[in-house]
Amino acid sequence: MGNDGGSIPKRHELVTLKAKAERPDKDSQTEARWQRCALSKEPLREPIVSCRLGRLYNKESVIEHLMDRTKFGDGDEMAGHLQSLKDVIVLKLTKNPSYNQSEVDELESGAGGGGSAGAKYICPVSLKDFNGKLRFVYSLVCGCVVAEAAVKQLSADSCLGCGADLKAAVAGAGAEFSSAASVWVVVNSTVPEEIARMRASVEAIRIARAEALAAKKAAKKAKSVVGANGGKQLDVGKKRKEVDDADGAQQHSKLAKKQAASQMSNARANISIPLPLELEKKTSSAELSKNQSDAIKSLYSKDKDKPKGNYLTMGTFNRYTSY
């Protein structure tokens, strides 16, 4: 069949099959989410911050994104919900004492052979690696990062990392936290239902902050109105009418002053003040002619007083020919 002594080719050697779509490596994606900034894609370096969706950022990258929304290509997708630094919290990560950066560099370059250098951060309670293989959570109160399994097993009212009172924080936060469980945010969650719940929480908090800011501005405005009226609170419509009346009175006063000034200027223009006799004498033509130079006098002298010139210059400009 192949004219080479009886070799039989297989089907895949004769028929070109459709290339399979390349699947992204899950390990590479996990490493990128847990060891690199979600905005700049650079390695995470302290200070490291996170939002209520559990994404990890370098703080300087968040600041650059807030200053220029077009700096990063997927900035709107990864951090479009961030409006200020109030929307992120600085994480308190526990460093792994056995972590060696030089070993990591050797592994990345291929000079160190196989194996793993371990994670850069660990859980302070269970000492588990912060690398994405286990679920981690952080506290919105203090920013401590611990393993989710430790929180579920201990379920204490205080933070497992620093000992902060979470129960008191929930009681004083109002709409920020609905329960003690809402204090903890899952880092880099991959569960769709959980992500949708996080997004709904972000939107609810944004609306609550906007309403609180509007109420604060209204209270401040009402307080200023009360202070301007000697401690007596006025109705908004009545206050607006008083403001309009005050503006009308002020405009009428300005118009009256302007009319009075114009009348005064016209009256001054119509008044003729006689000059003193001594000033009239000094300003007479005879007195002025004495103090003038010969050049000035020549400009105002009559034709008969002007010299006629000699035979070379006389009649130079008015000469005419008669026949």
Strand partners, 321: none
Euclidean distance between CA atoms 241 and 231, whole angstroms: 19
**Is 172's pLDDT higher than 90?**
no
Give the pLDDT band of residue 246 (cuts 50, 70, 90).
low
DSSP 133-160: SS-EEEETTT-BEEEHHHHHHH--SB-T
Q: In whole numbers, what is the pLDDT of the chain averaged over residues?
A: 76
CB 70 within 8 A of CB 30: no
Give pLDDT, residue 137.
92
Q: Whole-angstrom distance between the N-terminal and C-terminal Cα of the chain?
A: 136
Which token pair is 166?
């979470």
pLDDT tens readout for residues 297-307 = 776 666 555 55
Give the pLDDT band of residue 114 (cuts 50, 70, 90).
very low
113 vs 249, which has greater pLDDT? Answer: 249
Euclidean distance between CA atoms 120 and 130, whole angstroms: 7
* Whether the model pTM is above 0.75: no
CB atoms within 10 A of CB 88: 20
The amino acid at 305: D
**Is 208's pLDDT higher than 90?**
no
Give pLDDT, residue 56.
94
